[in-house]
Every structure is written in structure tokens, then in C-alpha cells.
């Protein structure tokens, strides 16, 4: 997931560019991300069944003020004709809530991120 040669600025541009709801992120978050020095991304959870493909990624940015800021990305195939869609959230609770709203077969676990 991490390209060692990709700058934090490029990574953030790609992330915001593919997210359907990037305009919902608070301006203060975007302003803070302008000072990102480094980033790391990791897969938090994955679920693949016959009807639903869902993944959650954690993107953490090290900022110039020595703090870290995390964005949560939800990737799922609930778009038209099963097209992959991306959503961004600033809080883990929000991404869990969004994942729980996706259609899921009755055999899926109750916790959308486990």
C-alpha cells in the first residue's frame, strides 16, 4: 500500500481525489494535512463475500508540529454495477458506522470491521 517514493502530498492528493465525500472533511483537517511530513497506510479490515467487498484502511500522517493525524478510508463495491467506491472519515467510529450501513448478507458478523 505504501510507495516509499511517493510524497505525503501526492498520497494525500490521490486519497482526496478518489473519495466521494472528501468535501465533507473539515477545513481544519485539510489545513493541518498541508504540513504532513510523512505518511503510513495500513489495511485495518477486509471482508469479501459473494455480494459485498469491503475494506477499511488507516492513513496516518506525521505533521510538522510532531502530531499525527489519521484518516480512515472505506472502500466498498456498492456503487452502480458493483463499482468500487471510496469514502473518508476522520474518526474510527464514523467509519465503523458507515461500514455497518452497507448491505450485507445475513451470515456476516455483527461488527463491520472484524
What are the φ/ψ torsions at residue 60 (nearest 5 degrees)?
A: -115, 130
Residue 65 lies in a domain: yes
Residue 105 lies in a domain: no
Residue 32 has a pLDDT of 96
Mean predicted confidence (pLDDT) in 10-27 = 95
Number of domains, the chain: 1
User: Do the bridges between strand 68-76 and strand 53-63 make them parallel or antiparallel, or are there none, so unpaired?
Assistant: antiparallel
Residue 60 lies in a domain: yes
49-92 pLDDT, tens per residue? 888 899 999 999 999 999 999 999 999 998 778 889 999 999 99
What range does the domain containing 69 cover?
8-100
pLDDT band of residue 25 (cuts 50, 70, 90) is: very high
Amino acid at each position: 500500500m505504501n510507495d516509499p517514493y511517493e510524497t505525503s502530498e501526492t498520497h494525500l492528493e490521490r486519497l482526496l481525489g478518489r473519495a466521494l465525500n472528501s468535501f465533507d472533511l473539515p477545513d481544519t483537517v485539510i489545513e493541518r494535512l498541508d504540513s504532513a511530513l510523512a505518511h503510513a497506510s495500513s489495511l485495518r479490515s477486509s471482508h469479501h463475500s459473494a455480494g459485498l467487498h469491503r475494506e477499511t484502511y488507516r492513513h496516518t500522517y506525521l505533521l510538522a508540529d510532531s502530531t499525527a493525524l489519521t484518516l480512515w478510508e472505506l472502500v466498498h463495491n456498492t456503487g452502480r454495477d458493483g463499482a468500487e467506491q471510496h469514502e473518508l472519515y476522520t474518526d474510527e467510529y464514523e467509519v465503523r458506522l458507515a461500514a455497518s450501513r452497507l448491505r450485507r448478507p445475513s451470515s456476516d458478523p455483527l461488527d463491520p470491521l472484524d
